[in-house]
Amino acid sequence: MAKILLTGWSGFIGSHVLDELKGGRNSVKLFQGDITKPADCIRNCRDMDTVFNLAALTYLPPSDVNPKAYMDVNFNGVVNLLNCKEMFSRFIQVSSSFVNGSVPPEFLPIRVGGNPLEPQDPYGIAKLAAEKAVASYAKKFGFDYLIIRPFNNFGPRQSRHFVIPHFIQQALNDGVITVRGNNEREFLFVEDTARIMANYLERKATGIKQICRGEPYHILDIAQRIADIVGKVDVKLVESDRPKDIPTLYGTPSDPYPMTPLDDALKKTIKWYAKNRPWEKT
């Protein structure tokens, strides 16, 4: 039985990964503390086989305002864990598709190693720096590593600040969804992502893996699907308030996995938000 240290387990994707790992054959220890504090990392990493790092600041827009906070967590925190290298034999780092930056059309769909990595915001820069640190430490100190790059996720428990929960909130409360810009994105159901990550853990996969559907959708299309599911909801498109946002981001999955049909995933997500209405509790 392997001993897995799971960081970020109370977060959006991390909580779903924890659901997948519960009752499995591995022993899962939940990180307690703060990965930006070396002493907390040392205390938690002791006697572990695998460190599975999902701890991160993930909401991208504030990274331009407070880049230091994103670097502290998304890079320095990872280095703090890596400095416990004598305590584990495997490291799994959850990265992001945003390490790619704005990809020219000739490199779409994105494949691992198929395009230059040019992140254009502090969030993506910190994530890419963390990837480089993981690979460098692994090569120098001789432990196995896996870097996972998931594309955009959605589902139950996601912060209302992200696009799909925000659309759902507007649909349920206002009967109107306002779409600011019409960028093109992958949209992954978080339960699929968590299942794939857990499978990579079990398979002892190494290197870099990309999780995506290979099916991009315009933001306006997603809003219309939500409106159709909720019913009696109007959709209006206005100019983006984030003109420097990446216009198109989609890829080819590293491995073939079945994915929940998009409308089924949206229905399940809408049902959760309609029942829980987390925005009324904040």
| Residue 149, domain CATH | 3.40.50.720
Q: By the 8 A CB rule, do 109 and 144 touch?
A: no
Of 252, 247, 254, 249, the closest CA to residue 100 belongs to: 249
Structure tokens at 262: 């998009």
In a domain, 255, yes or no: no
Q: Pairing mode, if any, of strands 184-185 and 217-218?
A: antiparallel
Same-domain check for residues 124 and 178: no
Residue linked to tokens 């890079």: 75
Q: Which domain holds residue 98?
A: 3-153+186-211
Q: Could you give the CA distance from residue 185 to residue 249 in angstroms, rounded to a whole number?
A: 5
Where in the chain does DSSP place strands (E)? 3-7, 27-30, 50-53, 90-94, 144-150, 153-154, 176-180, 184-185, 188-189, 207-211, 217-218, 234-238, 248-249
**pLDDT tens per residue across all 282 residues of the chain:** 899 999 999 999 999 999 999 988 899 999 999 999 999 999 999 999 999 999 999 998 889 999 999 999 999 999 999 999 999 999 999 999 999 999 999 999 999 999 999 999 999 999 999 999 999 999 999 999 999 999 999 999 999 999 999 999 999 999 999 999 999 999 999 999 999 999 999 999 999 999 999 999 999 999 999 999 999 999 999 988 777 788 999 999 999 999 999 999 999 999 999 999 988 875
Structure tokens at 54: 């999902």
In a domain, 172, yes or no: yes
In a domain, 43, yes or no: yes
CATH number of the structural domain spanning residue 173: 3.90.25.10
Same-domain check for residues 137 and 173: no
Q: What is the domain count for the chain?
A: 2
Terminal C-alpha separation, the chain: 40
Of 41, 145, 104, the closest CA to residue 246 belongs to: 104
What pLDDT is recorded for position 41?
98
What pLDDT is recorded for position 24?
85
pLDDT tens-digit series, residues 189-218: 999 999 999 999 999 999 999 999 999 999
Per DSSP, the residues of 172-210 read HHTSEEEEE---EE--EEHHHHHHHHHHHHHHT--EEEE
The rounded radius of gyration (Å) of the Cα atoms in the chain is 19
In a domain, 282, yes or no: no
Structure tokens at 45: 């990493």
Same-domain check for residues 127 and 235: no
